[in-house]
Amino acid sequence: MTKVTFDVDEETLARVTSVADARQTSVETLLRQQTEALARLAPITLTNSSHRRVLSVLGGAQGGLSPREELHDREKARAEAYVANRKILLDLIDKTDGDMGHHGWDRARSYDR
């Protein structure tokens, strides 16, 4: 079993201790139970059918198209532009430093799933 160490302010620790005392258990057991409950939750997935549909154009086989049709394939060009613009936007988000107070920003946690 892995040991986990983290910092908690005194007020929060006092509240957790009072909850543990009320349940007649230790703080460590209470935190372990809460962590196990979190682990049982289903993973959060974002369903974005339009995103998947655009990307499927890039992954699909384009067999049977003439060179002219391939050159003027609007759906493929639209998908390529979408991927390039999305990359630029996400890079900009990652590089942006804004005053978010005590909140942190993690694109991977909130957007890329």
Q: Compute the mean pLDDT over every residue in the chain, rounded to the nearest whole number.
A: 78
**pTM of the prediction?**
0.39
Tokens linked to 57: 């154009």
Cβ contact 62:74 at 8 Å? no
Q: Which helix (H) or strand (E) holds 27?
A: helix 27-40
Whole-number pLDDT of residue 22: 93
Asked if 23 contacts 41 with a C-beta cutoff of 8 angstroms, the reply is no
pLDDT band at residue 100, thresholds of 50, 70 and 90? Answer: low
Q: How confident is the model at residue 64 (pLDDT cuts 50, 70, 90)?
A: low
pLDDT at position 111: 58
Spatial CA neighbour of 62 closest among 78, 49, 50, 76? 76
Higher pLDDT, residue 87 or 97? 87
**pLDDT of 29:** 92
CA-based nearest residue to 57, from 31, 39, 26, 79: 79
pLDDT score at 95:
76
| Domain boundaries, given as residue ranges, for the chain | 10-40, 49-110
Tell whether the model's pLDDT for residue 92 goes beyond 60.
yes
pLDDT band with cut points at 50, 70 and 90 for residue 24: very high
Q: Give the Cα separation of 79 and 56 in Å (integer).
A: 9
